[in-house]
Chain A
């Protein structure tokens, strides 16, 4: 999986983080002051990018953590078939099959933006 390591202190709202092996977008980030002998702790509230599930973590701010590398891509809808659509990546011209989100209304020749991490994709 494409990911890189950083420290918890470098996370911020709107950025991505791996929680429970899932790529999540951070909705809230708050820190607790250090104890007399401990380091400050951070609490992260996040939502799965691809599954929408809410997750949270509490870690010392100097702990290492994984951040997923999620690509933002442009594609063109080639065809629509039931709940699925064929999308051509406008950079590589590779054609992929994606599930159409419930709240999306797409039609052939339409250009879309989507997030991609390995074989997971989501329209934005």
Chain B
């Protein structure tokens, strides 16, 4: 369970929990309708291309969130007062299309309840489910990579193709803003040159501000933890040097969160001492505090 969130884990077997077999609440009757944020773990680890381990991401993020204080001095709020519910993980399997469909449905339920889904990856492919559920007009993404492959290794649902899928398969999405992107294939850069994609290189992220761009538009914010410099977040699958400072990620999250109807942090694995997971967990909390603060 994410520290400070109410526990509402998915039942993992057929046992009747007294709520029609829906969720294992350990006997407590949750008030899901009142939740402002719904945490869902998506430990998909099917197309990672270099160092795998994103299947451990949600667990690591929850674990390394434990030392954080409940109180946030900047916004004068307690995390545990903000109506965060943790629905546990949607266990992943190898049919990615089928998994994404199921995950989308789980996240859409939160959207229907007027809650903001907080998705813990998992490889970046899971963002496609988050975006399908929220149906935003703008996809804002912190990422070292463009992820604009049409298909990678023949797989259009590869984590390296997720931004392309979001652009082309989700009808509501009008444009993508990629912050901190610093690498991609020639074909990806050509795609990034189209009008519906804006790339903000790492050196310009500190000065970036959404301005009026997101006003009155539905927004989805995704953080691929490899946007951070690998020196700060080595626990990720495809490290890319010359990345962002943690404070730069934080400032983007703070700026976009009030406009965002969905959030995810992805590509965290278990190949460090918790630096990537700790940063990811902190960004989840920054999102929640900033969104709640409006």
Which A residues fall within an 8 A CB radius of B?
Answer: 28, 30-33, 35, 37-39, 41, 43, 45, 54-60, 62-63
B14 within 8 A of A: yes
- In the complex, which residues of chain A have a beta carbon less than 8 angstroms from the beta carbon of B101? 28, 30
Verify B112–A39 contact, CB threshold 8 A.
no
- In the complex, which residues of chain B have a beta carbon less than 8 angstroms from the beta carbon of A56? 105, 108-109, 112
- Compute how far the CA of A63 lies from the CA of B91 in the bound complex, rounded to whole angstroms: 19
Verify B14–A43 contact, CB threshold 8 A.
no
B151 within 8 A of A: no
Verify A31–B14 contact, CB threshold 8 A.
no
B210 within 8 A of A: no
- In the complex, which residues of chain A have a beta carbon less than 8 angstroms from the beta carbon of B13? 35, 37-39, 60
B189 within 8 A of A: no
- In the complex, which residues of chain A have a beta carbon less than 8 angstroms from the beta carbon of B99? 32
Smallest distance from the beta carbon of B85 to chain A beta carbons, Å? 14
Verify B102–A43 contact, CB threshold 8 A.
yes
- In the complex, which residues of chain A have a beta carbon less than 8 angstroms from the beta carbon of B102? 30-32, 43
What are 28 A-B pairs at a CB distance below 8 A?
A30-B101, A32-B93, A32-B102, A35-B91, A37-B13, A38-B12, A38-B13, A38-B14, A39-B13, A41-B10, A43-B102, A45-B105, A45-B109, A54-B112, A55-B112, A56-B108, A56-B109, A57-B20, A58-B23, A58-B106, A58-B109, A59-B20, A59-B21, A59-B22, A60-B14, A62-B14, A63-B16, A63-B20
Query: From B102, which residue of chain A is reached at the shortest CB distance?
Result: A30
- In the complex, which residues of chain B have a beta carbon less than 8 angstroms from the beta carbon of A54? 112
Smallest distance from the beta carbon of B289 to chain A beta carbons, Å? 28
- In the complex, which residues of chain B have a beta carbon less than 8 angstroms from the beta carbon of A37? 12-13
Can you list the 7 inter-chain pairs with the closest CB atoms, starting with the nearest? Answer: A38-B13, A60-B14, A39-B14, A33-B93, A43-B105, A30-B102, A56-B109
- Compute how far the CA of A103 lies from the CA of B36 in the bound complex, rounded to whole angstroms: 34
- In the complex, which residues of chain A have a beta carbon less than 8 angstroms from the beta carbon of B21? 59-60, 63
- In the complex, which residues of chain B have a beta carbon less than 8 angstroms from the beta carbon of A31? 98, 102
- Compute how far the CA of A51 lies from the CA of B155 in the bound complex, rounded to whole angstroms: 41
Query: From A32, which residue of chain B is reached at the shortest CB distance?
Result: B102
Determine which residue in A35, A39, A41, A60 has the highest number of CB atoms from chain B within 10 A of its CB, and name it: A41
- Compute how far the CA of A43 lies from the CA of B89 in the bound complex, rounded to whole angstroms: 15
- Compute how far the CA of A33 lies from the CA of B90 in the bound complex, rounded to whole angstroms: 10
Smallest distance from the beta carbon of B35 to chain A beta carbons, Å? 15
Determine which residue in A31, A32, A33, A62 has the highest number of CB atoms from chain B within 10 A of its CB, and name it: A32
Verify A30–B14 contact, CB threshold 8 A.
no
Cβ < 8 Å to A, chain B residues 60-91: 90-91
- Compute how far the CA of A54 lies from the CA of B16 in the bound complex, rounded to whole angstroms: 24
